[in-house]
């Protein structure tokens, strides 16, 4: 057995913008939403809708019986999800562009990296020049994916989520949020929106 010295650290103390201590719940979660400070700048989203099967978008009826939509409605569903997401982000203090940078539909897993490269190229054209007083722009890629479909790259057992995050985070250094297609479907089909 190996022995080594150690120190038990005191519990962390969260403070708000005015440097006041913020109490934690018994589960050590921070109570105040105000501590989640939004980044400086305007968030611009690009939306990527992955295929669920070869050539079929993950929010279309051909995907499977769990998704019941008319094929012509899948773009409207994605648009509604994006609008609802923007509203919620604004309620929480984020400055988010009303329209996505671009919406990429029916992207096969084999074409995902090429798509992300296109997103970053398009986004770089929006960045202000040095000395420009315009607000900084922050790119967020929202990827709508069917977690049950693994495509050609996944014969070795890799997860589509891990692949997507690896491309966005490691290869391009951009923020991404992966949303399962079933979540998009549930969120847009609910008769009323929830408050929190």
The answer as to whether 46 is a domain residue is yes
Give mean pLDDT in consecutive 10-residue pieces for the chain, a chain of 196 residues.
80 70 67 62 88 57 39 71 88 85 85 93 78 73 78 56 88 90 79 52
Count of structural domains within the chain: 1
Task: Return the pLDDT at 119.
Answer: 94
CATH number at residue 127: 3.40.50.2300
In a domain, 184, yes or no: yes
What is the predicted pLDDT for the residue at 118?
94
Predicted model pTM = 0.67
The verdict on residue 36 lying in a domain is no
- Examine residue 27 and state whether it is found in any structural domain, yes or no: no
Q: Does the residue 196 lie in any domain?
A: no
**Using H for helix, E for strand and C for coil, what is the string for the chain?**
CCCCCCCCCCCCCEECCCCCEECECCCCCECCHHHCCCCCCEEEEEEEEEEEECCEECCCCCCCCCCCCCHHHHHHHHHHHHHHHHHHHHHCCCCECCCCCCEEEEECHHHHHHHHHHHHHHHHCCCCCCCCCCCCEEEEEEEEECCCCCCHHHCCCCCHHHHHHHHHHHHCCCEEEEEEHHHHHHHHHCCCCCCC
pLDDT tens, position by position, 72-123: 457 788 888 888 888 888 887 788 888 888 888 888 888 899 999 999 999 9
Q: Is residue 91 part of a domain?
A: yes
Domain that holds residue 127: 42-189
Domain membership of residue 147 (yes or no) is yes
């Amino acid at each position: 057995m190996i022995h080594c010295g150690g120190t038990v650290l005191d519990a962390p103390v969260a403070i708000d913008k005015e440097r006041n201590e913020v109490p934690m719940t018994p589960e050590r979660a921070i109570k105040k939403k105000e501590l989640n400070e939004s980044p400086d700048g305007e968030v611009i989203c690009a939306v990527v809708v992955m295929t669920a099967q070869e050539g079929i978008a993950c929010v279309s009826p051909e995907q499977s019986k769990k998704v019941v939509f008319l094929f012509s409605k899948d773009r409207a569903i994605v648009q509604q999800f994006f609008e609802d997401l923007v509203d919620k982000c604004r309620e929480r203090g984020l400055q988010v562009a009303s329209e996505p940078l671009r919406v990429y539909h029916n992207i096969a897993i084999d074409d995902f990296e090429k798509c992300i490269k296109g997103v970053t190229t398009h986004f770089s054209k929006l960045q202000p020049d040095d000395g420009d007083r315009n607000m900084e722009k922050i790119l967020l890629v929202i990827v709508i994916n069917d977690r049950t479909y693994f495509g050609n790259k996944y014969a070795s057992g890799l997860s589509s989520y891990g692949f997507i995050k690896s491309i966005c985070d490691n290869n391009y250094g951009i923020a991404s949020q992966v949303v399962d297609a079933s979540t998009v479907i549930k969120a847009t089909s609910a008769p009323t929106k929830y408050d929190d």
